[in-house]
Chains A and B, each alone.
Chain A
Amino acid sequence: MTAGASAQQLHKKRVARKSLWIRIWRARYLYLFLLPSISLLLVFVYWPAIQAFYRSFFIYDGYSINRFVGLNQYKFVLADPEFHISLKNMAIFLAFELTLPLFGPIIAAEAIYNLHNRQHQASWRFMLIVPAIIPALVLLLIWQYIYHPIGGAANIMMKGLGLPTQTWLANPTLVKPALMFTGVPWVGGIWMLVYLAGLLGIPTEVIDASIVDGASRLRRFFSIDLPLLWGQIKLTMILIIIYQIQGFFGILVLTDGGPINASLVPGLYLYHQAFGARASEGAKDFGKASAVGVILFIVILVFSLAVERLKRSDDEGFSQ
């Protein structure tokens, strides 16, 4: 009897295997259409990601030197005072980005959402998105002019106010606030749109009920709008964190990490190891740069998971 059962199972398995091949054969065109997409991802995303780990165990200058060094690159980077400074600077920038730049777009979206005139909602929305369409580099270069010590708008205004002029981006204590200020007034076009979409998606019955209950506008904001926007807020937070940990484009353009590393961030530290001015002097080390990349990847992963958990504990609190 057991033998019969197992024979039956074997038969079933065989049929299943056969039908799997048939199903794969039937789906052959689907695989064919997925192929270009997947092969590009394999070459330019998966493979580099794997390579990053592999390279981080080597010293590699791109030409002749390619030597296995075990964990030495990690040891060097983690002990490098310059890397420590860059982490500290990153933490300061990140802390700032999680205040005004995170909540500014929500406030702007609320302001537009609460206008009674529908047409005005659309026009103000348009006005606040337009600046997001100006290329980021153009905005940075305008700020480069504003902060220019001679003829720059910032110093002209300082003179007008009777205050001493400054060498904004060349001053170690001023450089961080000056860089943060380039985001003024922190209402970020695209994010504002995402929040506005979230607000417009709140069912009108919920809002009507709260009005009937006599909830004030402020009360409504904290107990209806904010919880319902939590998904978008979490997404913004994760993207801000990811950008602040790895990003360096603006700093590369405006200060290149200077003066005396006062604006150096980890991404720029990595860039310097692989492509920077110092690297071209023959100190290029793609291995060290890869090790930095892996370290930053882990930092990003930890932060993202932390934000993810933030949501879950909040949800639990909600259901209790």
Chain B
Amino acid sequence: MTILPTWKQLRSDWMLYLFLIVVTIITFAPLILMLNVSTKNSAQFAVNPLGITRPFHLQTNYGFAMKIIWRPALNTIFVAGTSIVFSIFLSSLAAYIFALFEFPGRDILFWGLTILLMVPTILTLVPRYLIIVDLKLINTYWALILPYIAQRQVFNIFVMRTFFRGLPKEVLESARLEGANNFRIYWSMVLPMSKPIIATLSLLGLLVIWNDFVWPLVTLDNPDLRTLTLALYQLASSGGAQWGIMMAGYVLASLPLLILFIIFTKPFIEGMTSGAIKL
């Protein structure tokens, strides 16, 4: 990965490079701050909060943070993973049917979906909570998973429907002539051709679910089930100014998504730029 320009490039594009370098430094400053503070014990923080202090207390801080965070992290991974897999499966199936088939009621059903784009989450927050209470799902994983699957559907179906309509029709048609049934065409042709958009939608969904704070706060109070965001929030408000441990916790909470993103950068960007994401 190259970033810095040669002299020749600098002569024509120096303003662009200057802008990008400044913006990048500002963007990364809080993250560097987090990494730096995560190495300090309380005494070091009290004396010199911003500078680099030695020795690094990585084992103590990260060890302690890990103890607090591992269980919530697993909860979040389980909830997010299950929700994403099911929502992508169900919504890709629905998008496939809406995109490539004619059947009675299709337009009415799709119109019903379009309306949902107008429904803001703030309108449904309280009634959704009351439904979860009525279904006796408070303090279960289902309180998160089922609404997440449902809510991700709308956007996913729209984007995938656009994407599926752009797939080469002749290829799908020739598969049909060779005797493949509709589900087989979906499973072994449409899905594999849609890897980039699936990667993008999964990652966008993962970001939303991983970041969600209000819904778990409202539906969970069992410490064994709490998600990563709840654990971080409690860590932050536990006071005691254990900044080193807190920051170590924040770093650990950021790592899984960062790693996933670095692995899937290419399909993610391909999907983002495929033109299907515009509504």
With A30-B97, A33-B93 in contact, do A270 and B125 touch (Cβ < 8 Å)?
A: yes
In the bound complex, what is the Cα–Cα distance between A152 and B103 (angstroms)? 62
Residues of B within 8 A of A51 (CB): 127, 130-131
Interface string of A223-235 (1 = CB under 8 A from B): 0000000011001
Knowing A136-B211, A232-B278 are in contact, say whether A124-B246 is a contact too (CB < 8 A).
no
Residues facing B in A23-74 (CB within 8 A) are 23-24, 26-27, 29-31, 33-34, 36-38, 40-41, 43-49, 51-52, 55, 62
Question: Which of A115, A156, A242 touches B50 (beta carbons < 8 Å)?
Answer: A156
Q: Which of A115, A185, A253, A296 contacts B23 (CB 8 A)?
A: A185
B41 within 8 Å of A by Cβ?
no
Tell me if B58 counts as interface (CB < 8 A to partner A): no
List of A residues within 8 angstroms of B30 by Cβ? 139, 142-143, 146
Contacting chain A: which of B5-13, B59-67, B164-172? B5-13
Tell me the complex Cα distance, A55–B124, Å.
Answer: 11
B81 close to chain A: CB less than 8 A: no
Bound Cα distance from A245 to B118, whole angstroms: 13
**A45 and B118 form a contact (CB under 8 A):** no
Known: A137-B233, A249-B214. A197 touches B273 (CB 8 A): yes
- Given known contacts A37-B153, A111-B19, A137-B213, A30 and B101 CB-to-CB distance under 8 angstroms: yes
Known contacts A49-B119, A55-B126, A270-B122, A38 near B261 by CB under 8 Å = no
When chains A and B are docked, how far (Å) is the Cα of A196 from the Cα of B93? 30
User: Of A23, A134, A150, A193, which one neighbours B103 at CB under 8 angstroms?
Assistant: A23
List which A108-163 residues lie within 8 A (CB) of chain B. Answer: 108, 111-112, 114-117, 119-120, 123-139, 141-146, 150-153, 156
A261 at the interface (CB under 8 A from B): no
Residues of B within 8 A of A286 (CB): 126, 130
| Alpha-carbon distance A151/B28, docked complex (angstroms) | 20
Q: Which residue from chain B places its CB closest to the CB of A31 in the assembled complex?
A: B103
Q: How many positions in chain B have a CB within 8 Å of any CB in the partner chain?
A: 94
Q: Is the CB of B27 within 8 A of A197?
A: no
Chain A contacts of B45 at CB under 8 A? 151
Q: Which 3 A-B pairs have the closest CB atoms?
A: A246-B122, A27-B103, A51-B127
Give the B-binding residues of A (Cβ under 8 A).
Answer: 20, 23-24, 26-27, 29-31, 33-34, 36-38, 40-41, 43-49, 51-52, 55, 62, 107-108, 111-112, 114-117, 119-120, 123-139, 141-146, 150-153, 156, 184-185, 187, 190, 193-194, 196-197, 200-201, 231-232, 235, 242, 245-246, 248-249, 252-253, 267, 270-271, 274-275, 286, 289-290, 293-294, 296-297, 300-301, 304
For the A-B complex with A138-B253, A142-B31 known, give 9 more contacts whose Cβ atoms are closer than 8 Å. A24-B105, A40-B153, A112-B20, A138-B250, A141-B246, A146-B30, A185-B22, A245-B120, A297-B123
